[in-house]
Structure 1
Amino acid sequence: MLTAKQHELIRFIQQRLEETGVSPSFEEMKDALDLKSKSGVHRLISALEERGFIRRLPNRARALEVIRQPEDSVPPPRGAAVGLDAANDAVASVSRKMREAPEPANDVIEIPLHGRIAAGAPIEALEGQKSLPVPAALLGPGEHYALEVSGDSMIEAGIFDGDFALVKRTDTARDGEIVVALVRGEEATLKYLHKDGGSVRLDPANAAYEPQVYRPEEVQVQGRLAGLLRRYH
């Protein structure tokens, strides 16, 4: 069962696709649903995506596809036929709309920016009230936050000092994933997670650093790495 806002959003997306051949921007969806921020739109889209109503098309910042409609949508009569001329007109209309469609916009959403995180020896992870604008195409479903990377222990994984780690909030991770790990409730670090017998090993991606080994109760997963942002000066 969809919420009223989810129902309203999927109908708006479908209507815009039928009219223009292009899914609406996050700003347009925010205005259409009378929401206060685009982060609310992102949460609605993530929920619809997780439930199989829509999907994001890869490699495009503004591309949504409606996979199925809510149950109360009225399908066309079974066995209904469409004349050849009408079918040709429909195909021509869709082709024309695709040709005339504007280039996809780079929709941006704001996610919390929680200070700095070590890619070296653990340092304190600072909680803050700042936010970071992120292209929506970089984020999948779920809740995300950002941390600024400090240090060079993950450079062989392509993660450099000053990068912004985009993190999916979760308290579980598979062996070998890059995670934000809170150590002893005080310090946070970005490392590969490995469960080694009765211990937890946090591995760097830099031969100059040694793995860090802790008891399982000393390490708490706070998120999995979902992407990176890098600024060039």
Structure 2
Amino acid sequence: MGKLEDQIRDRIELIYGSIPKFSDEVGIPAQTIYGLLKRGINAGTASTVLPVIAKLGYDLNWIVKNRLIDAGNDSSDFVDVPLYGSIAAGTPIEMVEVENTHPVPTKVHDMHPEAFLLKIEGESMNHILPNGCYALIDPSNEVEKDNDPYAVCVNGYAATIKRVKKLANGFQLVPDSTDPTYPVQTFNYNEPDTETITVIGRVVYYVLPYDWSF
């Protein structure tokens, strides 16, 4: 367990007395919290990490700062990658205006060296990608893993991110949201005037901006 996880455990025990009692308060199984503290918050999912640190009253900037301290302030642990505002189908990445850059872990970058970031806007994927986070996109022009989240363009417009299912002659774009009103969209190329889906890349990771707040 790292220093940050030690501090989180100490705070839980100080405020709630024990992890099982904290588990009841936050609505997350105790075993999940034990696993988060053992493996580290970097290994956790948004649905686990965000409620825990919010319930404990932490500022996410404090989490980021302390994670960097745990890493020994070694800048080689992180790599800055491009953060794009929007991407349209058919536009080469090198021609898209880069809004900014943001660090991702070096180990992640090594696995996906051509990846770039897109900002998530909206709640249609909030089970796995909170609104406002930066999704790391590994470029690809086809759906290699069915039902994984992908950045795609509909009729050449700016990218949207959904889980993508391949059909015999088309695609389904499937939300992954706590809001059931987001519809599944089916694009059947056997039907006339069906809009074209262009795959930009697969979502492989995400990071939170430094000014993140709850």
TM-score, normalisation: structure 1: 0.48
* 1:190 has 2:161 as partner: yes
Distance 1:199 1:144 in 2: 25
* 1:159 has 2:137 as partner: no
Cα distance, 1:116 vs structure 2: 5.0
Distance 1:134 1:149 in 2: 16
Moved over 6 A (4+): none
Amino acid at match of 1:189: T
Query: Does structure 2 conserve the Cα–Cα contact (< 8 Å) formed by 1:182 and 1:222?
Result: yes
Normalized per residue, which structure has more helix?
A: 2
Q: Give deviations 1:108-161, integer Å, cap 9, x for gaps.
A: 2121111158xxxxxxxx9422222222123314411000100000112x2111
Which of 121, 137, 146 is the equivalent residue of 2:117? 146
Structure 1 stretches of 5 or more lacking a match? 1-58, 62-101, 118-125
Taking every aligned residue pair, what percent have the same amino acid on both sides? 25
Which of 124, 138, 151 is the equivalent residue of 1:168? 138
Specify the alignment match of 1:132 in structure 2.
102
- RCO (CA 8 Å, sep 6+): is it higher in 1 or 2? 2
Specify the alignment match of 2:172 in structure 1.
201
Amino acid at match of 2:125: M
Amino acid at match of 1:150: E
Structure 2 stretches of 5 or more lacking a match? 1-39, 43-70, 88-94, 190-194
Query: Does structure 2 conserve the Cα–Cα contact (< 8 Å) formed by 1:116 and 1:150?
Result: no
Structure with higher Rg: it is 1
Amino acid at match of 1:224: R
Query: Does structure 1 conserve the Cα–Cα contact (< 8 Å) formed by 2:86 and 2:158?
Result: no
Aligned residue-pair number: 126
Distance 1:116 1:191 in 2: 15
* 1:226 has 2:199 as partner: no
Residue 150 of structure 1 aligns to a residue whose secondary structure is: coil
Residue 107 of structure 2 aligns to a residue whose secondary structure is: helix
Distance 2:120 2:207 in 1: 10
Distance 1:199 1:161 in 2: 28
Q: CA RMSD in A?
A: 2.9
Distance 1:127 1:171, change over 3 A: same
Cα distance, 1:104 vs structure 2: 8.7
